[in-house]
């Protein structure tokens, strides 16, 4: 408490001192006149130039310094489209950024007030206005057009052969449900949620009987996947950084995302020369204290490996039946009737 008070007092004192110095400077300037203004401008102009030089060095340095931490090339088809969009956006904007910033700071330096010339008054030019409106407009239209085209491809209906996976976010884990043999996730209802049935699956629905809950997200390489996304409690976000997949999980509003993984985990391990590499599923919405806990391993594998894994998965219905003495049907029927 005392340290906070002392800290605040010091800040206040420093501010008062800075203010007083500035005021004194101004008084001296008004006494000394033009000469003082010119001297001060020289210092400011130099600072502008230094800002430009160190700013540019810093921007280039940080890009190369952090490059090894960037995500590797996308492991999905649409990820490459997104990457190309970033590339072309940078092609259009980086040269403009560099040229305008050099102009801004070099002009400030070059044409500082030094008593040798008076300002040039330029009332405007319609032609210039037209050019600098039209060029950015055309560039923007092209970028937005490409963005919309990709957006509709990505968010459009999934191909028929897509494998269906349902991801349900809650504090603080994802529950992954596969459609099972029929590739259909059965009906569920919040009213059916209980200790044995975390998702509220309706066992009356036959589509549910072969569904299984998986610990890891296993995907078959080059096969489209449709992820149906929802949340039970608060906002979460289904995020697969390596596949450039990100979609909010919103309680009460089902969302979805379909994509095609194009590289197996094995391929990535060889490519990155990292035998411990794993794709991961994360939550991209700060959802509470154990938000970090929502990480899950994602495995992309070829058909043989995938089928091997699939054979080991046990339907949730069978598991429940085996674990409880009463059949799940009898427990469920009562509740369904209440509804
Ligand atoms: Cu979360």
What are the tens digits of pLDDT across the range 53-86?
Answer: 999 999 999 999 998 888 888 999 899 999 999 9
Q: How far is the CA of 319 from the centre of ligand 1 (A)?
A: 27
Per residue, what are the HEC states of the chain? CHHHHHHHHHHHHHHHHHHHHHHHHHHHHHHHCHHHHHHHHHHHHHHHHHHHHHHHHHHHHHHHHHHHHCCCCCCEHHHHHHHHHHHHHHHHHHHHHHHHHHHHHHHHHHCCCCCCCCCCCCCCCHHHHHHHHHHHHHHHHHHHHHHHHHHHHHHCCCCCCCEEEEEEEECCEEEEEECCCCCCCCCECHHHCECCECCCECCCCHHHCCCEEECCEEEECCCCEEEEEEECCCCEEEEEHHHCEEEEEEECECEEEEECECCCHHHHHHHHCCCCCCEEEEECCCCCCCHHHHCEEEEEECHHHHHHHHHHCCCHHHHHHHHCCCCHHHHHHHHHHHC
The per-residue pLDDT for 324 is 67
Q: Which residues contact 310 (CB under 8 A, 6 or more apart)?
A: 218
CATH of 163-338, picked from 1.10.8.60, 2.60.120.260, 2.60.40.1930, 2.60.40.420, is 2.60.40.420
**160 alpha carbon – ligand 1 mean position (Å):** 30
Band (331; pLDDT cuts 50, 70, 90): very low
Tell me: pLDDT of 326 over 80: no
Distance 283 CA to ligand 1 centre (A): 5
The larger pLDDT score, comparing residue 120 to residue 243, is at 243
Query: 268: CA distance to ligand 1 center in Å?
Result: 26
How far does the centroid of ligand 1 lie from the alpha carbon of residue 165, in Å? 18
For the chain, the domains span 163-338
Banded model confidence at residue 205, pLDDT cuts 50, 70, 90: confident
**Dist. CA 201 → ligand 1 center (Å):** 21
Contact 338, 256 (CB under 8 A): no
**pTM of this prediction exceeds 0.75:** no
State in Å: Cα 91 to ligand 1 middle. 35
Q: How far is the CA of 166 from the centre of ligand 1 (A)?
A: 15
* Strands ordered across the beta sheet of 255-259: 212-214, 173-178, 163-170, 225-231, 255-259
Give the Å distance between the CA of 30 and the centre of ligand 1. 61
Q: Decide which of 151 and 326 is more confident.
A: 151
């Amino acid at each position: 408490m005392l340290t906070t008070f002392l800290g605040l007092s010091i800040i206040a004192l420093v501010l008062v001192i800075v203010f007083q110095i500035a005021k004194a400077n101004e008084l001296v300037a008004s006494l000394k006149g033009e000469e003082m203004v010119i001297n001060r401008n020289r210092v400011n102009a130099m600072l502008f130039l230094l800002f430009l030089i160190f700013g540019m060095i810093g921007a280039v340095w940080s890009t190369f310094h952090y490059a090894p931490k960037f995500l590797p090339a996308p492991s999905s088809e649409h990820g490459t489209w997104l990457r190309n969009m970033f590339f072309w956006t940078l092609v259009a904007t980086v040269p403009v950024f560099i040229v305008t910033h050099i102009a801004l700071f070099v002009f400030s330096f070059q044409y500082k007030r030094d008593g040798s010339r008076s300002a040039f008054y330029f009332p405007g030019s319609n032609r210039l206005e037209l050019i600098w409106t039209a060029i950015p407009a055309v560039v923007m239209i092209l970028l937005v057009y490409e963005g919309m085209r990709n957006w509709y491809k990505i968010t459009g209906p999934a191909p028929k052969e897509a494998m269906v996976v349902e991801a349900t976010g809650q504090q603080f884990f994802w529950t992954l449900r596969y459609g099972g043999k029929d590739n259909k996730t059965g009906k569920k209802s919040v009213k059916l949620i209980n200790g044995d049935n975390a998702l509220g699956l309706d066992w009356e629905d036959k589509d549910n009987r072969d569904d299984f809950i998986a610990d890891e997200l296993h995907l078959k390489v080059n096969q489209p996947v449709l992820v149906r996304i929802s949340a039970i409690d608060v906002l979460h976000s289904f995020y697969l950084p390596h596949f450039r997949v990100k979609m909010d999980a919103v309680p009460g509003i089902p969302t979805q995302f379909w994509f095609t993984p194009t590289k197996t985990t094995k391929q990535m391990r060889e490519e990155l020369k990292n035998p411990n590499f794993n794709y991961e599923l994360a939550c991209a919405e700060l959802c509470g204290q154990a938000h970090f806990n929502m990480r899950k391993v994602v495995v992309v594998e070829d058909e043989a490996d995938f089928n091997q894994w699939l054979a080991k998965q046990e339907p949730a219905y069978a598991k429940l039946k085996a674990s409880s003495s009463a059949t799940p049907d009898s427990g469920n029927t009562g509740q369904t009737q209440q509804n």
